[in-house]
Amino acid sequence: MKIYSLSIYSKNYNEEIIRLAAEYDLSSFGFFQRSTVQDIIMVISKTIAERTTPGQRQRVEEQPYVGYVYARSDIPLTGVIITDEEYPQRVSFSVLNKILDEFLIKFPQNDWDKSNTISYPELKTYLSKYQDPKQADQITKVQEQLDETKQVMNRTIESLLQRGEKLDDLIDRSQEISFQSKAFYKQAKKTNSCCTIS
Amino acid sequence: MEVEKLYQTLNKIFDTHEIHEIGLLPYQNTQPNDDYYPFFFIESNLGIPLEYVDKLYKYAHGIFMKVRDCGSDGNNETVKLLKDSTRCIVIINTDCYSALNARKKLIIDNHINPIKELKFIDLLFTFPKHTKHSTIWFHRKWIIQQHVPSDDISWQHEIDITRRVAELYPKNYYAWTYRHWILLKISDDSLHSQSFFVDELKIMKIWVQKNISDYSGFQHLQRCLIRLSQYYDNSFSDFYGISRKDILEKINTKLQNQGLKNKDSDSIVSLWYKEIQFTKDLILRYPGHESLWYHLRFLSFVWIWLKLAGYLNNSIGFKFDTDRETDEKSHNSIVKKWPELENELEFSHYCIRQIDLTINQDNDERFESMIIQKQNALAFELWISELNDRTKFDIKDLIVKLAEISIDSNYYIVQNNK
């Protein structure tokens, strides 16, 4: 029952996705894996956010991670939470609702385009607080009924990608991630284990 | 790069630094004029580029083969060669019996300090793959049992090591078995051991809540409960080899628990009763995890055994069951019901009703976990019915229901072969 990452995205005037804020908790990985896992999660999160239309909620699986994404319908703002397979879906969407609402109150839309990232330290606090899903219970209760009626699309990364596209290629082409991470990822794929060499 | 130089550099790093973690790197990101090239040494963490592993291993193995027959009776120089080469071998392959045996000999002959060797194993365990070899765990046990005075053993540190290992490599059989073994090494007759078991139980309750689908954690939690019960009553069963059949046989010939102080008996009952509540709460909170239901089965099994062994005296149910008046429908009151047969059945029915309500309400993707929850609730009902010798009619009825919703199960096969 772990949250690995929380991140918030918007789109710029070119309709390209931009990351406004992101936090990671990778303490369960070893020193040499941590940066690779972070890079992979970053690419997965961005890919998911990019491929979610306004108003949509999706659950996206890419073992051993599960990503939940919610794109607001009123404004171009999307939240992504990456968890393990145990973390409850209901709680994940509540957390996303909460952080997007709060983010909007703190930062008006005009502020977003000026820089790519916004300092939003509360995100780190939420990331550690909601590691225990019971902590999210109060916010969950308020939103439960709302969530109950909304459809959640169940997806895998492959089904989100366009024909001929592959996650491996996206990772290989990404300019944001280091060559070390790319090497780790390739090696891990060979031994069929994510981000560790064994 | 010359392998001799490589080997020397590695030894130099080990001899002059304290290292926190090791890793194998599928790349090389140091320059020939960097310190310790081609090894990557950063913030006390040592990365070994994958491309040199082969060469290093062969070289170290060669040295080991040459000097191992001189043994540790040899001069200082051969002892040093033996220590360094086996260290290098074990870093790359912890499963090398000969190298570990040579190191055991070195410990016996006082050439390797056992405490330092334990630290070295701590380091090996930072590389996840290394934790999946029984040899290295045995090496650790051997050192602790034979070469560390019992007052110098930090069991808390041993617990911490297994905790980290099980985090880096989940469902790690060796780590959990080792942790069970720690519980057995702690005697069950002192106040200090009581606090050790209580603390370990607390740690495990937090742990299982964070890893609810990992049964290895629940199994260790069960061992903690048993050890703590044994502290209260040293004749308390360890439940090895006690089966459902034994329970059924004993149902008519009640065992009496003699001579146990009421207070201790109450402590035991309260311990298991709280655990049952804790587990039912998790089941309702996180539907669809088989591990939770299996844990509840174990607890119900122990509960019946407690009853047969005379721990549940007449009035005790009322002492603990204080919330009878609260709202009957709330989650809380269902969880707190005294775990006798009809209440256990009611718990299962409550779970099923909840699922039926949710499934009717919305048809989203949680469907799968709901079905799993329902299957598990029915299977639990069947299991506890059989354990309590309920009528054949009820049991048949349950099998029919189970077969209906789980077409890939044995229930379906049993039902449709008739």
pLDDT, chain B, mean:
87
pLDDT of residue B70: 72
Helix (H, G, I), strand (E, B) or coil at A33: helix
Short-list A62, A52, A56, CA closest to A84: A62
The answer on pLDDT for B325 being more than 60 is no
Q: Is residue B389 part of a domain?
A: yes
Under 8 Å between Cβ of B114 and B148: yes
The answer on pLDDT for A112 being more than 60 is yes
Q: What one-letter code names the amino acid at B134?
A: S
Task: Look at A161-175, B225-239, B372-386 and tell me which has the smallest mean pLDDT.
Answer: A161-175
pLDDT of residue B248: 73
Domain with B85, as residue range(s), is 1-112
Please give the Cα distance from B183 to A155 (Å, whole number). Answer: 44
- What's the gap between Cα A88 and its chain centre? 15
The count of CB pairs under 8 A between chains A and B is: 71
- Which of A32, A149, A179 shows the shortest C-beta gap to B23? A32
Angstrom distances, CA of residue A115 to CA of A7, A37, A110, A193:
16, 26, 11, 36
Would you place residue A166 in the very low, low, confident or very high pLDDT band (cuts 50, 70, 90)? Answer: confident
Could you tell me the two tokens for B331? 């989650």
Contact A30 B126 (CB under 8 A): yes
> In terms of CA atoms, which chain B residue is nearest residue A29?
B168
Indicate whether B390 and B246 sit together in one domain. yes
Sheet holding A77-83, edge to edge: A17-24, A3-11, A77-83, A65-71, A57-62, A153-156
* B101-110 average pLDDT score: 94
Task: Look at A19-33, B32-46, B331-345 and tell me which has the smallest mean pLDDT.
Answer: B331-345
Residue length, chain B?
418
> In terms of CA atoms, which chain B residue is nearest residue A198?
B129
Please give the Cα distance from A1 to A17 (Å, whole number). Answer: 29
Q: Of residues B324 and B311, which shows the higher confidence score?
A: B311
Which phi-psi region, left, alpha or beta, contains residue B27 (left: φ > 0; alpha: ψ -120 to 50)? beta
For the domain covering A3-190, report its CATH number.
Answer: 3.30.450.50
pLDDT tens-digit map of A12-42:
878 889 999 999 999 999 999 999 999 999 9
A chain contacts of residue B361, beta-carbon cutoff 8 Å = 148
A153-156 vs A77-83, strand pairing mode = unpaired
Q: Is residue B20 part of a domain?
A: yes
Question: Which of B112, B145, B162 is at the close of a domain?
Answer: B112
Q: Of residues B390 and A100, which shows the higher confidence score?
A: A100
Q: Of residues B206 and B263, which shows the higher confidence score?
A: B206
Q: Quick check: B163 contacting A, CB < 8 Å?
A: no
Supply the ipTM of this predicted assembly. Answer: 0.86
Q: What one-letter code names the amino acid at B166?
A: A
The answer on pLDDT for A163 being more than 90 is no
Which phi-psi region, left, alpha or beta, contains residue B142 (left: φ > 0; alpha: ψ -120 to 50)? alpha
The answer on pLDDT for B345 being more than 80 is yes
pLDDT tens-digit map of B40-61:
999 999 999 999 999 999 999 9
Tell me the domain boundaries of chain A. 3-190
Q: What one-letter code names the amino acid at A163?
A: R
B chain contacts of residue A196, beta-carbon cutoff 8 Å = 128-129
Number of domains in chain B: 2
The answer on pLDDT for B323 being more than 90 is no
Question: SS3 for chain B, per residue?
Answer: CCHHHHHHHHHHHHHHCCCCEEEEECCCCCCCCCCCCCCEEECCEEEEEHHHHHHHHHHHHHHHHHHCCCHHHCCHHHHHHHHHHHHHHHHHCCCCHHHHHHHHHHHHCCCCCHHHHHHHHHHHCCCHHHHHCHHHHHHHHHHHHHHCCHHHCCHHHHHHHHHHHHHHCCCCHHHHHHHHHHHHHCCCCCHHHHHHHHHHHHHHHHHHHHCCCCHHHHHHHHHHHHHHHHHHCCCCCCCCCCCHHHHHHHCCCCCCCCCCCHHHHHHHHHHHHHHHHHHHHHHHHCCCCHHHHHHHHHHHHHHHHHHHCCCCCCCHHHHHCCCCCCCCCCHHHHHHCCCCHHHHHHHHHHHHHHHHHHHHHCCCCCHHHHHHHHHHHHHHHHHHHHHCCCCHHHHHHHHHHHHHHCCCCHHHHHHHHC
The answer on pLDDT for B254 being more than 60 is no
Short-list B119, B122, B92, B117, CA closest to B103: B117
pLDDT of residue B328: 47
Q: What one-letter code names the amino acid at A179?
A: F
The answer on pLDDT for A198 being more than 50 is no
pLDDT tens-digit map of B172-181:
999 999 999 9
> In terms of CA atoms, which chain B residue is nearest residue A134?
B285
Q: Quick check: A83 contacting B, CB < 8 Å?
A: no
Please give the Cα distance from B404 to A18 (Å, whole number). Answer: 49
Q: Is residue B184 part of a domain?
A: no
Contact B289 A86 (CB under 8 A): yes
Contact A132 B209 (CB under 8 A): yes
The answer on pLDDT for B364 being more than 60 is no
Q: Quick check: B27 contacting A, CB < 8 Å?
A: yes
Under 8 Å between Cβ of A86 and B212: yes
Question: Which of B112, B128, B157 is at the close of a domain?
Answer: B112
Question: Which of B112, B141, B159 is at the close of a domain?
Answer: B112
**Which of 92-111 (A) contact B at CB < 8 A?**
none
pLDDT of residue B147: 93
C-beta atoms surrounding A46 within 10 Å:
21
- Which of A28, A85, A154 shows the shortest C-beta gap to B365? A154
Q: Of residues A48 and B359, which shows the higher confidence score?
A: A48
Would you place residue B192 in the very low, low, confident or very high pLDDT band (cuts 50, 70, 90)? Answer: confident
pLDDT, chain A, mean:
86
Q: Is residue B288 part of a domain?
A: yes
